[in-house]
Amino acid sequence: MECIVLYSSRTGNTRKIAEAVCSVLPAGTPCLPVAEAPPDLSRYDCVFAGFWVDRGTADAQSKQLLARLDNPKTALFATLGAEPCSQHAADSLRNAAALRPCAEPLVNSFICQGKVDPQLIEQMKKMFPTGHPHAVTPEREALHQQAASHPDEADLAAAKAFAAETLKRLETIA
Ligand SMILES: Cc1cc2nc3c(=O)[nH]c(=O)nc-3n(C[C@H](O)[C@H](O)[C@H](O)COP(=O)(O)O)c2cc1C
């Protein structure tokens, strides 16, 4: 079983998840930033592609990768500031999956919270006044505080379980 893990990560959250995923895949499975993705992705038994959520979809670097990800056996994983069980999280995964050229359903997907860059939060506070749709409300502040400890050990364990489950599914598909 030859897999590859590709990820995009601005502040390290998604990289941690990528490393956890890779740790349960066959020894020697590459774990690379998307900028180092090999040109031919069709030869792998499964491509694990990880992104950070940027305005409800994959970040720009991952968008480029997903647009050329022609391997029908793909598992997506992601981190985001919002709650992982929210509609926003589900929509973000769906939007990212829709960027692929192939219509096959994902083999599996995983999403968890990741701390939001404090510099971004400060910028948002300065840029968006009270009442603006992107203003930092008390609810948003609470969400940022909740996200601040993620990904945590439980997230890493869940990411490993996701990878193990994906391997099982691949055996039944093959
Ligand atoms: C420009 C920007 C846009 C973001 N947009 C969203 C978003 O739409 N929804 C969300 O829940 N989190 C959003 N986030 C938070 C990140 O997805 C989250 O912090 C993620 O874990 C960062 O991953 P990384 O450390 O791998 O870069 C955004 C962060 C940035 C910097």
pLDDT value at 174 more than 80: no
- For the stretch 114-144, pLDDT in tens is 999 999 999 999 999 999 988 989 999 999 9
Q: How far is residue 5's CA from residue 23's CA, in Å, rounded to a whole number? A: 10
Q: Whose CA is nearest to atom 7 of ligand 1?
A: 55
- Over the chain, what is the mean pLDDT? 96
Q: Residue type for 122, please?
A: E
Report the predicted TM-score, pTM, of the whole model to 2 decimal places. Answer: 0.96
Pocket test for ligand 1, best of 6, 8, 10, 16 (most atoms within 8 A of CB): 10
CATH code of the region 3-115+151-173: 3.40.50.360
Distance 53 CA to ligand 1 centre (A): 5
Segment 16-33 shows an average pLDDT of 98
Domain boundaries, given as residue ranges, for the chain: 3-115+151-173, 116-149
Segment 76-102 shows an average pLDDT of 97
Instruction: Indicate whether residue 113 lines ligand 1 (CB < 6 A).
Output: no
Whether the Cβ atoms of residue 61 and residue 34 lie closer than 8 Å to each other: yes
Question: 10 Å Cβ neighbour count for 32?
Answer: 14
